[in-house]
Amino acid sequence: MKICRILKDSEPRYSYADDDGLRLFPKYWLPGLELPLTNRESVAAGEVEAFLPPVNPSKIVCVGRNYAAHALELNNPLPTEPLLFLKAPTALISEGDAIKLPSQSRQVEHEGELGIVIGRRCKAIPVDEDPFDYVLGYVCVNDVTARDLQKRDVQFTRAKSFDTFCPVSRFIETDAAGSDLALKVTVNGETRQEGRTRDMIFDIPFLIRYISNHMTLLPGDLIATGTPSGVSRLNPGDVCTVEIDSIGTLSNPVRD
């Protein structure tokens, strides 16, 4: 299933796509509740006032240096345990929205990543439970980064959390398996990053379990799982596209 969030009658509503277009979930529905099977009203294209980011998370947990080639390209050692940091949810934007380059940085870069959307409250997952059972689905994420500020600051907060620095694809794909997907980032059609999610140093179940041992993950929370090598600078007028097999495509223009 492909789940999205739209603005209809000035209200955010979760919906899903089928062959005939979009259908609404009941107003009460949020990630973490059972997917409703009936009363799915269809939505005419003209009734969609906007597509919103499909997640409205309490937090965005990001994993740094989770692909060896990317750690090496930034002259960082390989991590021996996941390097976690948070990105402000106010950085979220949708497919097609502009990434705005802040005046405080001269080096803003793309980081295409597989995003995990959490489907169940999750704290210290018991050893006999499968972390995949806590996944609602996957999205494409661009962990946009002010690289100069990241290098200058001890904490990543500022470099990662400017408004518009977290584009997310339109749909949460609930049917795909995330463990071995091809990921590609192009800028103006030119390939910059290519990788496969199987090359993560810490894989999806390890990350979910590890993060849940440090903080409670809530339904709708987003985990950005790290980026392969090939990060590069974004300039005004560029269009940056993240494509992940079976998950979707995420394109955003870049503005001053």
Which region, judged by CB under 5 A, interacts with Mg ion, from 8-16, 139-147, 167-175, 241-249?
A: 139-147
Of 227 and 252, which has the nearer Cβ to Mg ion? 227
Which residues share a beta bridge with 166? 92
Cα–Cα dist 247/256, whole Å: 29
| DSSP-assigned states of every residue in 1-62 | -EEEEEEETTEEEEEEEETTEEEEPPTT--BTBPPP-S---EE-GGG--EEEPS---S-EEE
Of 24 and 55, which has the nearer Cβ to Mg ion? 55
**Least distance between Mg ion and beta carbon 121 (Å):** 25
CB-nearest residue to Mg ion: 143
**Least distance between Mg ion and beta carbon 211 (Å):** 15
**Least distance between Mg ion and beta carbon 141 (Å):** 8
Cα–Cα dist 38/29, whole Å: 12
**Among 236, 242, 243, 3, CA closest to 119:** 3
Question: Which one among 227, 234, 238, 244 touches Mg ion, defined by CB under 5 A?
Answer: 227
Question: Which one among 95, 97, 111, 243 touches Mg ion, defined by CB under 5 A?
Answer: 111
Can you read off the two tokens belonging to residue 63? 């994993």
Q: How many residues bind Mg ion (CB under 5 A)?
A: 3
Site for Mg ion contains 142 (CB under 5 A): no
Site for Mg ion contains 150 (CB under 5 A): no
Can you read off the two tokens belonging to residue 237? 């007028």
Site for Mg ion contains 241 (CB under 5 A): no
> By the criterion CB under 5 A, which residues form the site for Mg ion?
111, 143, 227
